[in-house]
């Protein structure tokens, strides 16, 4: 691992919460695609599979920001554990409904209840922001977490689809449920790096989504999520048409592998130029990369096209999280990060539902037309919102950085705010040394 990545783990506890976050995020890449594979295996209905995937995404989009808002106010441990227990119960109910061939409405009911799954990635990034907010190390930390995201999307679909097709249909989502339980409870057991809650934070009324810049990011990521939702459903269907359904996981892994490689390199690069401009270029690159998918004719060609397309994902995600930190009050950082994931979830819902319908009516290859349209929409939103991102970033005054509970510069009362910048500078000097 290169030295910038070693440096961010110099703080005690950082390895532990990042490892817990890895496990806790595995369901993000395993559960939805596992449900699609499970339902298609049991019923052969891709339309139903896509609709259930959409239900999962919409539920997470509605409930997720509310959970993160409670986390900002009351702390990760107090909120995440009960929310996760509800999500685990719902997941078990969903698997039983599929296994016992209960009516379709039960599948949708339990899928809706799965929305209580916490956004573990936002929780981990909030811990990094509490440690390195305002310092160059935060760019590297966000890049590392984007790589972790992509590792999940490389390994997760292979595990989930492979288990569903080679063992029994419910195996993939079941393993994802186990990862969620272990990851969240391990993460919340680490109190020293947990960001301090803000139960009565000024400016918190109305939520993080009041920020005009965040609104741009959420709308753009809704279109981006349509790309991801389409790729999942259509790739499984395309591999099935080619007679190699189990290979869908390998093909999807190349998509994540491209993003992972780009994320590693991006985290080592010095920050140059305007942040909003980097984000705009990333979104436009994602849109352009959808065009080759319209020409797909074989699984090897699809794998190469998805790898190239994936190269733009991680850099765009890193820039997005940096923009969230720039545009959202510190006391609402977790909620703000979750809203971007919410935009992705809504987009996944729309994309997977539309793709499932197109696959059922016109065939798998035609489903990638949804990806191309979504990419064009994302680029249009980014272009239209670029000026708003620049304007708000220039007008936003400096704000204190949230601190971890166990930070050495944590103080009581008003002294907490007064000592943050000094403590942060001292941490940065020690880590660099």
Higher-confidence position of 145 and 418 = 145
Do the beta carbons of residue 227 and residue 255 sit within 8 Å?
no
Most confident of 26-35, 171-180, 319-328: 171-180
pLDDT digits (tens, 9 = 90+) for 107-130: 899 988 887 888 888 888 888 888
- In angstroms, the CA 146 to CA 313 distance is 9
| Cβ atoms of 54 and 352 closer than 8 Å | yes
Can you give the C-alpha Rg of the chain in angstroms? Answer: 21
Ramachandran region, residue 273 (left: φ > 0; alpha: ψ -120 to 50; beta: rest): left
Q: How far apart are CA 352 and CA 354, in angstroms?
A: 6
How far is 259 from 256, CA to CA, in rounded Å? 5
Within 269-367, residue ranges assigned H as helices are 275-288, 299-310, 313-327, 333-362
CA–CA separation, 7 vs 63, rounded Å?
35
Percentage of residues in the chain having pLDDT higher than 90: 11
Task: Tell me the per-residue pLDDT of 163-213, one tens digit each, with 9 for 90 and over.
Answer: 888 888 888 889 999 999 999 999 999 888 888 887 765 444 556 777 888
Structure tokens at 306: 């998805």
pLDDT of 409 above 60: no
CA pair distance 180, 166, nearest whole angstrom: 22
Average pLDDT, the chain: 79
What local confidence, expressed as pLDDT, does residue 400 receive?
41
Which position has the token pair 């992705």? 344
**Contact partners, residue 173, CB within 8 Å, separation at least 6:** 30, 31, 34, 35, 38, 91, 94, 95, 160, 164
Statement: residue 421 has pLDDT above 70: no
Tens digits of residue pLDDT in 384-407: 888 877 765 544 444 444 445 554
Report the percentage of the chain scoring pLDDT > 70.
88
Q: What is the helix (H) or strand (E) element at residue 242, kind and residue range?
A: none
Q: Across residues 255-266, what is the average pLDDT? A: 83
Q: How far apart are the first and last CA of the chain?
A: 17
More confident residue, 330 or 103: 103
Q: Give the residue with greater pLDDT, 151 vs 24.
A: 24
Predicted local distance difference test score (pLDDT) of residue 392: 54
CA distances from 52 to 48, 105, 248, 322 (A): 6, 10, 19, 32
In which residue are the tokens 């119960």 written? Answer: 89
CA distance 207 to 408: 30
Q: Quick one: pLDDT at residue 418?
A: 38
pLDDT (0 to 100) of residue 415: 39
Spatial separation of the C-alpha atoms in residues 354 and 371, rounded to whole Å: 10
Query: Looking at residue 425, what is its pLDDT?
Result: 38
| Domains of the chain by residue range | 12-195+209-396
Bridge partners of 404, per DSSP, are: 195
Model confidence at 427, pLDDT cuts 50, 70, 90, reads very low
**pLDDT mean over 52-63:** 80
Tokens of 221: 């990521």
Under CATH, to which class is 12-195+209-396 assigned? mainly alpha
- The Cα–Cα gap between 66 and 116 comes to 9
How do residues 267-311 score in pLDDT, each as one tens digit? 777 767 788 888 899 899 999 999 998 888 788 898 899 999 889
Q: How confident is the model at residue 7 (pLDDT cuts 50, 70, 90)?
A: confident
Query: What pLDDT is stored for residue 57 in this prediction?
Result: 75
pLDDT of 9 strictly over 50? yes
Q: Are 319 and 139 in contact (CB under 8 A)?
A: no
Average pLDDT over residues 247-260: 82
On whether the CB atoms of residues 94 and 109 are closer than 8 A, the answer is no
Q: Residues 221-230: what's their mean pLDDT? A: 86
Nearest CA to 354 out of 169, 222, 218, 176 is that of: 222
Over residues 30-49, the mean pLDDT reads 80
CA distances in angstroms from 188 to 16, 209, 227, listed in the order given: 11, 26, 32
The sign one gets for the Cα dihedral 221, 222, 226, 231 is: positive
Alpha-helix runs per DSSP H in 189-270: 212-241, 248-268
Does the pLDDT value for residue 413 go beyond 70?
no
User: Which pLDDT tens digit goes with each residue over 68-105?
Assistant: 888 888 888 888 999 999 999 999 999 998 888 888 88
CA atoms of 283 and 313, how far apart (whole Å): 8
Cα–Cα distances in Å, from 302 out to 231, 347, 356?
11, 22, 18
Which residues does residue 195 pair with via DSSP β-bridges, in sequence order? 404
Q: Which residue has the higher pLDDT, 58 or 82?
A: 82
């Amino acid at each position: 691992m290169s030295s910038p990545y070693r440096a961010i783990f110099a703080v005690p506890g950082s390895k532990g919460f990042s490892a817990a976050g890895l496990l806790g995020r595995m369901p993000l890449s395993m559960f939805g695609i596992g449900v699609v594979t499970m339902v298609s295996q049991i019923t052969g209905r891709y339309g139903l599979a896509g609709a259930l995937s959409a239900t999962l995404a919409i539920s997470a989009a509605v409930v997720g920001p509310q959970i993160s808002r409670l986390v900002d106010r009351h702390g990760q441990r107090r909120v995440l554990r009960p929310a996760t227990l509800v999500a685990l119960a719902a997941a078990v109910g969903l698997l039983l409904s599929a296994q016992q061939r209960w009516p379709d409405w039960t599948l949708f009911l339990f899928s809706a209840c799965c929305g209580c799954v916490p956004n573990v990635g936002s929780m981990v990034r909030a811990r990094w922001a509490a440690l390195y907010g305002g310092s160059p190390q935060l760019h590297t930390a966000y890049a590392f977490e984007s790589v972790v995201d992509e590792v999940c999307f490389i390994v997760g679909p292979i595990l989930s689809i492979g288990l569903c097709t080679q063992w029994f249909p419910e195996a993939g989502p079941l393993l994802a449920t186990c990862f969620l339980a272990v990851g969240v409870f391990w993460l919340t057991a680490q109190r020293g790096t947990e960001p301090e809650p803000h139960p009565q934070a000024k400016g918190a009324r109305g939520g993080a989504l009041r920020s005009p810049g965040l609104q741009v990011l959420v709308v753009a990521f809704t279109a981006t999520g349509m790309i991801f939702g389409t790729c999942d459903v259509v790739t499984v269907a395309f591999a099935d048409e080619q007679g190699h359904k189990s290979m869908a996981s390998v093909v999807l892994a190349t998509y994540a592998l491209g993003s992972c490689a780009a994320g590693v390199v991006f985290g080592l690069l010095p920050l140059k130029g305007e942040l909003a401009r980097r984000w705009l270029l990333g979104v436009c690159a994602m849109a352009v990369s959808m065009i080759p998918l319209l020409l797909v004719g074989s699984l090897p060609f699809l794998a190469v096209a998805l790898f190239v397309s994936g190269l733009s994902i991680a850099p765009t995600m890193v820039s997005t999280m940096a923009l969230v930190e720039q545009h959202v009050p510190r006391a609402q950082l977790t909620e703000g990060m979750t809203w971007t994931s919410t935009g992705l979830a809504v987009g996944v819902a729309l994309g997977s539902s539309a793709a499932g319908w197109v696959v059922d009516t016109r065939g798998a290859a035609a489903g990638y037309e949804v990806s191309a349209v979504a990419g064009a929409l994302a680029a249009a939103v980014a272009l239209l919102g670029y000026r708003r991102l620049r304007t708000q970033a220039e007008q936003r005054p400096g704000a204190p950085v949230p601190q971890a509970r166990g930070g050495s510069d944590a103080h009581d009362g008003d002294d907490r705010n007064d000592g943050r910048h000094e403590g942060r500078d001292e941490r940065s000097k020690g880590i660099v040394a």
